[in-house]
Structure 1
Amino acid sequence: MKKHNCLLLLALSILFAFSACKKSDDDLRLQASNAKSNLALKADSSHLPFTVVTIAGDPIQTGFQDGAGNQARFYYPFGIDVTDDGTIYVADFDNHKLRKITPPNIVSTINIPPSSDGQSFLFPEYVRRSSDGTLNILTQSGTRRVWILKPDGSLVTPLPPSPYGSTWAFYSGLQKDPFGDFLWFSQIYYRASSTVTVPTSLKKFYIDANGRIGTNAFYPPRDSLSLPERTGDYSITNFYCSYNGVKYIVINNNHIYKLTPAGVFTQIYRDLKFTHIFSLTGSKDSRVLYVADNGAIKSIVNGKLQFLVGPQKYDVTAVDGVGSSANVYALYMVLSKDEGTLYFSDHSTIRKLLLR
């Protein structure tokens, strides 16, 4: 009996020891797993300045598909806007759609109904969201090229200001004014007929008493332009409304001018060379201007030009990375509220450049 009790005690001791060892091993595995997870989180949350990260879309495949991150598909997304909570709106040009990206990078499609006269929503290029949730979109097809979608789902499609026929109205920019809850848009140079020439202009995005969009027009004076614009046609091809009241205006894709609140219009950065400026934006203190030029993202600080990322090498698939190691072809950009991130469209993807 005593021998049997001894054997029982020995067996229980071994069992407890094994259990203790197993529990210790499980604890170690759990600690190791937690440490690995924490390391991964730390790696994800830390980055070097000028890191490019793809938010949504596939760099190789175009198409139309909602979904998370790289499961989504775009077909040449162009204009974008971002709200304070990180929601991104995208004018998906060749899909004829308005897309929405909500954290964590979930892509969905916003329904845009036909206009009151039955026209479809085609080739959207610019989008800006007002503070009340109204979505303002400029398209490049049809007689109804301004689409204003209210938060209640109602749609307004005003005609352009030109009396020469709305089919000739082409737009080249849509920007928020930091001094009020309204927008400005630019209209490129065009010929309304063989005899009538309508000059390029910058206009307030406001519907007048006649139901047409565009007031407070500014027409760049030809005698203020440098050659070769003075000898030929010229257009406002993009612009940016800064926080100091200055509007930075791009003429013919490669010359930057500024329009002061007092109405003075002059060329700046004359010694800097640009190839094709798609878009530009800047910091609130106006010390830094960001330019998407021929695919590359550059900054201008104290009159000096610096390459941040890009342009993309055509023989290499677009990949994320830091600085020159990132392959990008930036089109339209928007700066986050904290000025730490530049969001931009890139052919079939939406990406971001982490500035710090």
Structure 2
Amino acid sequence: MALRIVLCLVAALATHSWLAHAQSLSDAFNQGAALGRSGNAAARGQISGSTAQSTVPNYTTAPPEASYFGSPGLGTPASARAGACAGGPGAAGGFGEQGCNAIDFSQTNPSRRPNYNLTPGDPLLSRARTITADPQAIAGNLAGTYSGCTVQTVTSPDIFETLICHEYRTIENTTCDKILIVTPIQTPGCSPGQFLTRVTADPCPACIDYLAFDFTCGASNYLMHVFTIAKGSGAVYMDLGSQYVPGTLNTQIGQSPGPSRIDGYFCYQTYYSQSCSGANCSIGAWFYNPCQGTSYYGVSTFAMPTTVSFTDTWNNQCAALEARSQ
């Protein structure tokens, strides 16, 4: 069918060319344009308004095919319509069967018409590429054929545009913290007046008092205080004196003299010693009565107290913000 239409068009064009050969190309173009304009005016009145409703057979404003719009798939209605038309033309005939004729044609035509295998090297394609590559070589120079076509070279002036941009910093409220970090440092040792330990001895279980040796810290030594304590009340019964003696953390001190008194009323001598292993120390205390030839000893182990010092550092979390504000 397509080949027959092409041949008819070629024959018609050949006949028209023979009849118009006596005229120039521009005259033929003008006559064709005039014919087209006159036909447009007549055709426009036939397709506007209500003319189509009274002219086209079976015209309707609500065709059933309108339901296909927006459908997720046309497979189901297409199969149903093809099945309904498979029985052949109905009783209505004419325009009423045009839809089924088209559907039957689409179903049976692929098996009736041969398939053509066109390769990229087929002359239809290769010659078409030659024409599209250089149409002027085939159709000639159109500018010389039509007087209304002119070649123009248009030069546009340069366009200059000035763009202005602004860069600025927005105002924002930001908080930050400066944190003072205080770190305590504990150092074994004692401060002046700090109590260290008490050494006791009970040389006379039948007596009303017993011996006590108190050691407290001095600036760079110990204060040794010797006295007796009443067993019944726990109060100081007799004060035998105080004396600063050598002593400090982690030192080894042999037997060294403490407070002593020998006169017509008292007769005693005291001694002490220190032995340390790191911050753990032991202090021993002796009490001698040379007048009677008696001696007593007591010992106490203690952990050396610690002194606390502090170091502080600042954690400045505002440094980045301060740098931005400069």
> What TM-score results when the alignment is normalised by the length of structure 1?
0.17
Identify, as 1 or 2, the structure richer in helix: 2
Higher RCO, Cα 8 Å, sep 6+: 1
Identify, as 1 or 2, the structure richer in strand: 1
* Structure of higher CA gyration radius: 2
